[in-house]
Structure 1
Amino acid sequence: MGLGKSEALRTTGRFGVRQIAVVGMLSAISIILGLSGYGFIPLPTAKATIMQIPVIIGAILEGPAVGAMIGLLFGLFSIVQSLMAPNILSFAFINPLVSVLPRVLIGITAYYAYKWTRSKHEGVRIGTGALIGSLTNTFGVLTMIYVLYAAQFAEVRGIDLATTAKVIYGIALVNGVPEAIIATAITVPIVTAIKKRYKN
């Protein structure tokens, strides 16, 4: 059986009109979430970001190339935001290895986690993609900060360098688990509804 047009675009990486529209729309949503502050949900111990969700949705719906493109634009926005409204960690986020690379990987890991999950239930497959994509964002960004800027991170946070890994990965767990749960809860119904619309 031959590939359908949408599946062919996924495998070749070429973007059709729909894929370009999805990239533009979901990238805009991610940027609006960041600028408005609605991309952060306050929790008792931290703020959970949902800005990775458009990347995950785009990847699961349209493939890894689309997800990676949305992630690229999300990462570039992070650099601009760090330059225009700097905070204590802006020295790290102006580096594309911290702000862009992990966001590009969100789309790739989310898509393949969805594709390779063996389940008859579409919701389980979508949820797995959302979970892995969200954790890619959290652990990817914080791992790059640790690898590249452990000393600077310790200095600005006023902690001993020897405890940097413990602090960074503590933040990853405190932020990453709620973010992954929220991303899954939001992504599953949205992607399920859009996929039904695609079929119709």
Structure 2
Amino acid sequence: IGPTNATIMHIPVIIGAIVEGPLVGITVGFIFGATSLLRALTMPTITSFALVNPLVSVLPRILIGIVAYYVYKFTIKFTKNVFVSGWITGVIGSLVNTAGVLGMIYTLYGARYAEALGESASAAKTLILTLVATNGIPEAIVGGFVVSAVCVVFNKRKK
């Protein structure tokens, strides 16, 4: 819808990192990022110029796997609750995706991105923050619940 592009593709990255470790999280994150880059090249939109840069499309997705693994390991020690730790990890992993991609877009292409969407260059910060609020927060909430539910199932199967 317009400039928004809600995704759930970060969820397998988070789950892979939790269940199989940071190397799997990094690998799945790389695949997610490479797919985003390839999509930007083969099915371009008015904002694809930003996603053609691997610093925007790939690096943040790799970071999801690293952050998710360590957040889960940290939270499970304190909460001792798979559902709660999974939810926290899902939310934070989702926000890493949102903040990473939109943060890099703002840093590298802020004015150009805003202008591509018909906004003034000075409105870039507001535009990016609006996308965080309208896409990133709902994605994080959904991601938290999906990841936590999957973690509970995997934990039961492991026992």
The equivalent residue for 1:114 is: 72
Q: Distance in 1 between matches of 2:117 and 2:158?
A: 48
Q: Cα distance, 1:47 vs. partner?
A: 5.5
Partner of 1:79: 37
- Structure 2 residue corresponding to 1:153, chosen from 90, 110, 113: 113
- Equivalent of 1:51, from 1, 5, 9? 9
**Over aligned residue pairs, what C-alpha RMSD do you find?**
1.4
Q: Following the alignment from structure 1 to structure 2, what is the Cα–Cα distance between the partners of residues 82 and 163?
A: 24
SS in 1 for 2:6: strand
Give the C-alpha shift of residue 198 in structure 1.
Answer: 2.1
| Amino acid paired to 2:44 | P
- C-alpha distance in 2 between matches for 1:50 and 1:81: 16
User: Quick one: higher RCO (CA 8 Å, sep 6+), 1 or 2?
Assistant: 2
Aligned equivalents of 2:16, 2:70: Cα separation in 1: 13
Among candidates 31, 50, 54, match of residue 96 of structure 1: 54
Gaps of 5+ in 1: 1-41
- Measure, in 2, the Cα distance between the counterparts of 1:131 and 1:153: 26
Q: Please tell me whether residue 64 in structure 1 is matched to residue 22 in structure 2.
A: yes
* Structure 1 runs, 4 residues or longer, greater than 3 Å off: none
The TM-score normalised by the length of structure 2 is 0.92
User: Would you tell me which structure has more helix in proportion to its own residues?
Assistant: 2
Structure-1-length-normalised TM-score: 0.74
Q: Which residue of 2 aligns with 1:140?
A: 100
Count of aligned residue pairs for this structure pair:
155
Q: Which amino acid aligns with 1:81?
A: R
Q: Which runs of 5+ in 2 are unaligned?
A: none
Identical aligned residues as a percent: 49
Query: What letter is aligned with 2:37?
Result: I
